[in-house]
Protein backbone atom coordinates (compact mmCIF):
# COMPACT_ATOMS: atom_id res chain seq x y z
CA UNK A 1 0.00 0.00 0.00
CA UNK A 2 1.25 3.48 -0.90
CA UNK A 3 0.35 5.37 2.24
CA UNK A 4 0.71 8.85 0.70
CA UNK A 5 -1.70 7.91 -2.09
CA UNK A 6 -4.12 6.61 0.53
CA UNK A 7 -3.95 9.93 2.39
CA UNK A 8 -4.64 11.85 -0.83
CA UNK A 9 -7.59 9.62 -1.71
CA UNK A 10 -9.25 10.01 1.68
CA UNK A 11 -8.27 13.61 2.45
CA UNK A 12 -11.74 15.12 2.00
CA UNK A 13 -13.26 12.51 4.31
CA UNK A 14 -10.97 13.50 7.19
CA UNK A 15 -12.06 15.69 10.10
CA UNK A 16 -10.27 19.02 10.58
CA UNK A 17 -7.92 17.45 13.14
CA UNK A 18 -7.20 14.54 10.81
CA UNK A 19 -6.51 16.95 7.95
CA UNK A 20 -3.92 18.71 10.12
CA UNK A 21 -2.20 15.33 10.64
CA UNK A 22 -2.39 14.58 6.91
CA UNK A 23 -0.94 18.01 6.05
CA UNK A 24 1.93 17.47 8.47
CA UNK A 25 2.72 14.04 7.02
CA UNK A 26 2.60 15.30 3.43
CA UNK A 27 4.97 18.16 4.29
CA UNK A 28 7.22 16.67 6.97
CA UNK A 29 6.84 12.91 6.48
CA UNK A 30 10.57 12.35 6.88
CA UNK A 31 10.39 13.62 10.50
CA UNK A 32 7.81 11.06 11.59
CA UNK A 33 10.31 8.22 12.03
CA UNK A 34 12.21 10.22 14.68
CA UNK A 35 9.30 11.44 16.77
CA UNK A 36 7.05 9.73 19.33
CA UNK A 37 3.29 10.03 19.35
CA UNK A 38 3.19 12.42 22.33
CA UNK A 39 5.60 14.92 20.75
CA UNK A 40 3.84 14.64 17.38
CA UNK A 41 0.48 15.36 19.00
CA UNK A 42 1.92 18.49 20.67
CA UNK A 43 3.52 19.70 17.45
CA UNK A 44 0.32 19.31 15.44
CA UNK A 45 -1.99 20.45 18.22
CA UNK A 46 -4.06 17.29 18.57
CA UNK A 47 -4.20 14.18 20.77
CA UNK A 48 -2.49 10.83 20.61
CA UNK A 49 -5.89 9.14 20.31
CA UNK A 50 -6.69 11.21 17.20
CA UNK A 51 -3.38 10.24 15.62
CA UNK A 52 -4.08 6.54 16.28
CA UNK A 53 -7.57 6.85 14.76
CA UNK A 54 -6.03 8.60 11.75
CA UNK A 55 -3.47 5.80 11.34
CA UNK A 56 -6.22 3.19 11.33
CA UNK A 57 -8.32 5.21 8.90
CA UNK A 58 -5.51 5.08 6.32
CA UNK A 59 -5.07 1.33 6.74
CA UNK A 60 -2.37 1.09 9.41
CA UNK A 61 -2.62 -1.09 12.51
CA UNK A 62 -1.04 1.48 14.81
CA UNK A 63 1.07 4.64 14.98
CA UNK A 64 4.22 2.50 14.82
CA UNK A 65 2.88 0.69 11.74
CA UNK A 66 2.22 4.07 10.12
CA UNK A 67 5.82 5.15 10.83
CA UNK A 68 7.16 1.96 9.27
CA UNK A 69 5.02 2.35 6.16
CA UNK A 70 5.99 6.00 5.79
CA UNK A 71 9.65 5.01 6.07
CA UNK A 72 9.34 2.39 3.35
CA UNK A 73 7.36 4.84 1.21
CA UNK A 74 9.96 7.58 1.30
CA UNK A 75 12.38 8.10 -1.56
CA UNK A 76 15.99 8.16 -0.32
CA UNK A 77 17.14 11.75 -0.64
CA UNK A 78 20.84 11.27 0.10
CA UNK A 79 23.03 11.72 -2.97
CA UNK A 80 26.47 10.16 -2.71
CA UNK A 81 29.46 10.19 -5.06
CA UNK A 82 28.76 6.72 -6.38
CA UNK A 83 25.15 7.29 -7.40
CA UNK A 84 25.36 10.93 -8.32
CA UNK A 85 22.62 13.45 -8.99
CA UNK A 86 21.38 11.69 -12.13
CA UNK A 87 20.71 8.46 -10.28
CA UNK A 88 18.81 10.36 -7.59
CA UNK A 89 16.76 12.28 -10.16
CA UNK A 90 15.83 9.02 -11.88
CA UNK A 91 14.82 7.43 -8.59
CA UNK A 92 12.80 10.44 -7.49
CA UNK A 93 10.81 10.87 -10.70
CA UNK A 94 10.29 7.14 -11.08
CA UNK A 95 8.70 7.16 -7.63
CA UNK A 96 6.50 10.13 -8.56
CA UNK A 97 5.36 8.39 -11.76
CA UNK A 98 4.59 5.14 -9.93
CA UNK A 99 2.61 7.01 -7.26
CA UNK A 100 0.67 8.91 -9.92
CA UNK A 101 -0.10 5.67 -11.77
CA UNK A 102 -1.70 4.28 -8.63
CA UNK A 103 -4.03 7.29 -8.43
CA UNK A 104 -5.15 7.15 -12.07
CA UNK A 105 -8.54 5.69 -12.98
CA UNK A 106 -7.85 4.04 -16.36
CA UNK A 107 -11.52 3.82 -17.29
CA UNK A 108 -11.91 7.55 -16.68
CA UNK A 109 -8.88 8.25 -18.89
CA UNK A 110 -10.44 6.31 -21.79
CA UNK A 111 -13.70 8.24 -21.35
CA UNK A 112 -11.84 11.56 -21.33
CA UNK A 113 -9.98 10.63 -24.53
CA UNK A 114 -13.32 9.84 -26.17
CA UNK A 115 -14.80 13.19 -25.10
CA UNK A 116 -11.72 15.05 -26.39
CA UNK A 117 -12.17 13.40 -29.79
CA UNK A 118 -15.86 14.35 -29.95
CA UNK A 119 -15.61 17.95 -28.72
CA UNK A 120 -15.94 20.87 -31.12
CA UNK A 121 -14.03 23.08 -28.69
CA UNK A 122 -11.98 22.24 -25.60
CA UNK A 123 -11.62 24.79 -22.79
CA UNK A 124 -9.23 24.28 -19.87
CA UNK A 125 -9.77 26.25 -16.65
CA UNK A 126 -7.07 26.58 -14.00
CA UNK A 127 -5.65 29.23 -11.66
CA UNK A 128 -2.02 29.64 -10.55
CA UNK A 129 0.06 26.48 -10.90
CA UNK A 130 -3.03 24.65 -12.17
CA UNK A 131 -3.22 27.26 -14.92
CA UNK A 132 0.36 26.44 -15.90
CA UNK A 133 -0.58 22.76 -16.04
CA UNK A 134 -3.49 23.75 -18.26
CA UNK A 135 -1.16 25.66 -20.58
CA UNK A 136 1.02 22.57 -20.95
CA UNK A 137 -2.03 20.43 -21.70
CA UNK A 138 -3.22 22.97 -24.26
CA UNK A 139 0.12 22.95 -26.07
CA UNK A 140 0.11 19.17 -26.33
CA UNK A 141 -3.48 19.01 -27.57
CA UNK A 142 -2.86 21.80 -30.09
CA UNK A 143 -0.01 19.77 -31.58
CA UNK A 144 -2.47 16.91 -32.07
CA UNK A 145 -4.80 19.17 -34.04
CA UNK A 146 -7.51 19.88 -31.46
CA UNK A 147 -9.21 23.26 -31.04
CA UNK A 148 -8.28 24.02 -27.45
CA UNK A 149 -7.95 27.11 -25.24
CA UNK A 150 -6.59 27.49 -21.71
CA UNK A 151 -8.15 30.18 -19.51
CA UNK A 152 -6.48 31.12 -16.23
CA UNK A 153 -8.04 34.54 -15.62
CA UNK A 154 -11.08 34.30 -13.33
CA UNK A 155 -12.99 37.05 -15.16
CA UNK A 156 -12.45 35.39 -18.54
CA UNK A 157 -13.54 32.06 -17.03
CA UNK A 158 -16.88 33.59 -16.07
CA UNK A 159 -17.35 34.98 -19.57
CA UNK A 160 -16.29 31.79 -21.33
CA UNK A 161 -18.39 29.50 -19.13
CA UNK A 162 -21.50 31.51 -20.05
CA UNK A 163 -21.07 30.88 -23.81
CA UNK A 164 -20.06 27.20 -23.97
CA UNK A 165 -22.52 24.67 -25.41
CA UNK A 166 -23.28 20.95 -25.49
CA UNK A 167 -20.70 20.60 -28.27
CA UNK A 168 -17.86 21.74 -26.00
CA UNK A 169 -15.66 19.99 -23.43
CA UNK A 170 -14.55 21.90 -20.34
CA UNK A 171 -11.63 20.62 -18.26
CA UNK A 172 -11.23 22.10 -14.78
CA UNK A 173 -7.90 21.71 -12.98
CA UNK A 174 -7.57 22.26 -9.23
CA UNK A 175 -5.09 20.36 -7.06
CA UNK A 176 -7.13 20.97 -3.91
CA UNK A 177 -10.45 20.61 -5.72
CA UNK A 178 -11.65 23.74 -3.91
CA UNK A 179 -10.57 26.60 -6.21
CA UNK A 180 -13.59 28.89 -6.11
CA UNK A 181 -13.16 30.45 -9.56
CA UNK A 182 -12.85 27.08 -11.27
CA UNK A 183 -15.78 25.57 -9.35
CA UNK A 184 -18.06 28.46 -10.33
CA UNK A 185 -16.99 28.28 -13.99
CA UNK A 186 -17.64 24.53 -14.12
CA UNK A 187 -21.07 25.01 -12.55
CA UNK A 188 -22.08 27.55 -15.22
CA UNK A 189 -20.55 25.47 -18.03
CA UNK A 190 -22.53 22.44 -16.95
CA UNK A 191 -25.75 24.45 -16.83
CA UNK A 192 -25.05 25.39 -20.46
CA UNK A 193 -24.74 21.74 -21.47
CA UNK A 194 -20.97 21.35 -21.81
CA UNK A 195 -19.32 18.06 -20.89
CA UNK A 196 -17.23 18.55 -17.74
CA UNK A 197 -13.97 16.87 -16.72
CA UNK A 198 -12.18 17.65 -13.45
CA UNK A 199 -8.55 16.97 -12.57
CA UNK A 200 -7.74 17.07 -8.85
CA UNK A 201 -5.73 15.28 -6.19
CA UNK A 202 -8.71 14.69 -3.92
CA UNK A 203 -11.78 12.56 -4.55
CA UNK A 204 -15.02 13.99 -3.22
CA UNK A 205 -13.81 17.60 -3.44
CA UNK A 206 -16.17 20.41 -4.50
CA UNK A 207 -14.91 20.47 -8.09
CA UNK A 208 -16.08 16.87 -8.54
CA UNK A 209 -19.71 17.79 -7.86
CA UNK A 210 -20.00 19.50 -11.24
CA UNK A 211 -18.00 16.94 -13.23
CA UNK A 212 -19.18 14.21 -15.58
CA UNK A 213 -15.75 12.57 -15.47
CA UNK A 214 -13.28 12.96 -12.59
pLDDT bracket for residue 98 (50, 70, 90):
confident
- Using the predicted structure, report yes or no on whether residue 16 has a pLDDT greater than 50: yes
**Count of structural domains within the chain:** 2
Largest CA distance in the chain: 59
Nearest to 171 by CA among 188, 152, 186, 187: 186
Rg for the chain, CA atoms, rounded: 20
* Residue 135 structural domain: 105-210
Q: Is the predicted pLDDT of residue 185 greater than 90, yes or no?
A: yes
**Cα–Cα distance, 183 to 77 (Å, whole number):** 37
Q: What is the mean pLDDT of residues 88-108?
A: 76
1: pLDDT confidence band, cut at 50, 70 and 90? low
For residues 109 and 96, state if they share a domain: no
Q: Does residue 51 sit in the same domain as residue 88? A: yes
The answer to whether the CB of 188 falls within 8 A of the CB of 203 is no
Q: Could you tell me if 30 and 86 lie in one domain?
A: yes
Same domain (yes/no): 98, 112: no
Tell me the pLDDT band of 92, cut-offs 50, 70 and 90. low
Question: Do 94 and 123 sit in the same domain of this protein?
Answer: no
What is the CATH number for 15? 1.10.10.10
For 13, phi and psi rounded to 5 degrees?
-95, -5
Would you place residue 70 in the very low, low, confident or very high pLDDT band (cuts 50, 70, 90)? confident
* Percentage of the chain exceeding pLDDT 90: 59
Considering the domain architecture, whether residues 36 and 72 belong to the same structural domain is answered as yes
Instruction: Give yes or no for a contact between 37 and 66, defined as CB atoms under 8 angstroms apart.
Output: no
Q: Determine the Cα–Cα distance for residues 179 and 61; give it in Å rounded to an integer.
A: 34
pTM of the model: 0.66
Q: pLDDT category, 111, cuts 50, 70, 90?
A: very high
Tell me: do 155 and 200 sit in the same domain: yes
Say if residue 98 is in the same domain as residue 109.
no
Q: What is the CATH number of the domain that holds 109?
A: 3.40.50.10490
Task: Indicate the angle between helix axes 16-28 and 48-57, nearest 10 degrees.
Answer: 80
Residue that terminates a domain, selected from 69, 102, 135? 102
∠ CA 176-63-20, rounded to 5°: 30
Neighbours of 126 (CB within 10 A): 26
Q: Which of 43, 70, 102 is the last residue of a domain?
A: 102
Work out the mean pLDDT of the chain and round it to a whole number: 88
- Domain-ending residue, one of 102, 119, 141: 102
Amino acid sequence: MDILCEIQRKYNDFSDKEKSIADYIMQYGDKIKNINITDLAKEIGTSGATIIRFAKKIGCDSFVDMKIKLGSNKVETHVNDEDGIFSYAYQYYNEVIERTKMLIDKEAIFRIVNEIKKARNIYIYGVGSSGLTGEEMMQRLLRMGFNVHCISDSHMMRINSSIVSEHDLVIGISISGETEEVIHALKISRENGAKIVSITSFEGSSISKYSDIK
